[in-house]
Amino acid sequence: MVPGSFPHLGRGLGLRREHYREVIETGPDVGWFEVISENFLGPGGNPRRVLEAVRRDYPVVLHGVSLSIASTDPLDGRYLAELAALARDVEPAWISDHLSWGTAHGINAHELLPVPYTEAALAHVVRRVQAVQERLGRRILLENPSSYLTFRDADMAEHDFLAELARRADCGLLLDINNVFVSAHNQGFDPHVYLAALPGERIGQIHLAGHSEEGGLLIDTHDRHVRLEVWRLYAEAIARFGPRSTMIEWDEAVPAFAELERELERVAHWERVGLEAQRRRHAA
């Protein structure tokens, strides 16, 4: 895989129902939009009408929540066919989903459940990513999960699992910086070691979001501003990997669109911080 396989689109936002009308009618200065694939899989009607209107003015990427790439159930042929049809219509810059699973024995929990980081699981997921990429005719990006547990059977670190998965399956990575921070706290790993272990050339997109604290755990709630520690980790990622298409995810207690635009200004600021650090690093 060569660097730049996924285009650099600048700063984007997750497109949410609350902002459909404003985005279509006012054409805000946003680089691109990420949409949840499952919300637009139907053959037409209002969801497709909205997506087509947005797509006329902006690059769009598809982000799925139902691929269930690590499940031991068979891949869902109907879902993949619908996703392929949506991609043909929308021509997204890329398609992504999560390193997780949500179905077992035909039952869908509609949750991004965690993967045991073992060699057997790695081999299983690699084969499934290859099958999906063949079906879709393109590389996909897989997102590092927010996680609240570690399996007793795990015998490798999450960052090693992701790096090896991307290499063996020849797929890209969607780096969710907030997820790194949340999982590092919950699982007790070092987020800086995590970033250093990732293959930067495979990172096509970055997610940023807010999180909350409940009891002793951090929860990936997507319901508030990005926290300072996460911004700092983002700057470190930019310093390490260079600029990447970056977006804000805000899914609960969704604020006015203007608030999201201000959050994008913060993305620009912390990107500059990261690039300055990169410049100093190269000069040293």
CB of 248 vs another protein, minimal distance in Å: 21
Q: What is the token pair recorded at 255? A: 């604020």
- 4 vs 188, beta carbon nearer another protein: 188
Shortest CB 106 distance to another protein, Å: 5
Choose among 176, 187, 196: nearest CA to 236.
196
Q: How far is the CB of 166 from another protein (least distance, A)?
A: 18
Nearer to another protein, 180 or 267 (CB): 180
- Residue 4 vs 44, nearer CB to another protein: 44
Nearer to another protein, 110 or 279 (CB): 110
How far apart, in whole angstroms, are the C-alpha atoms of residue 39 and residue 44? 11
* Closest separation in Å from C-beta 283 to another protein: 40
Tell me whether residue 166 is exposed, middle or buried, using C-beta atoms within 10 angstroms of its C-beta: 0 to 12, 13 to 18, 19 or more.
Answer: buried
Q: Which residues bind another protein (CB under 8 A)?
A: 38-39, 41-49, 66, 68, 71-81, 101, 103-111, 113-114, 116, 118, 120-121, 123-124, 127-128, 131, 135, 148-153, 185-186, 188, 214-217, 219
Q: Are 178 and 215 in contact (CB under 8 A)?
A: no
H or E element at residue 172: strand 172-176
Cβ distance to another protein smaller for residue 1 or 148? 148
Q: How far is CA 17 from the centre of its chain?
A: 19
Helix axes 77-90, 119-136, angle to 10 degrees: 50
* Residue 114 Cβ vs another protein, minimum distance, rounded to whole Å: 8
Q: Report which residue type is found at 253.
A: A
What is the Cα–Cα distance from 177 to 240, expressed in whole angstroms? Answer: 13
* Cβ neighbours of residue 105 closer than 8 Å, sequence gap 6 or more: 73
| Structure tokens, 126 | 């690699």
Choose between 4 and 215: whose C-beta lies nearer to another protein: 215
DSSP state of 256: -
The minimum distance between CB 17 and another protein, in angstroms, equals 10
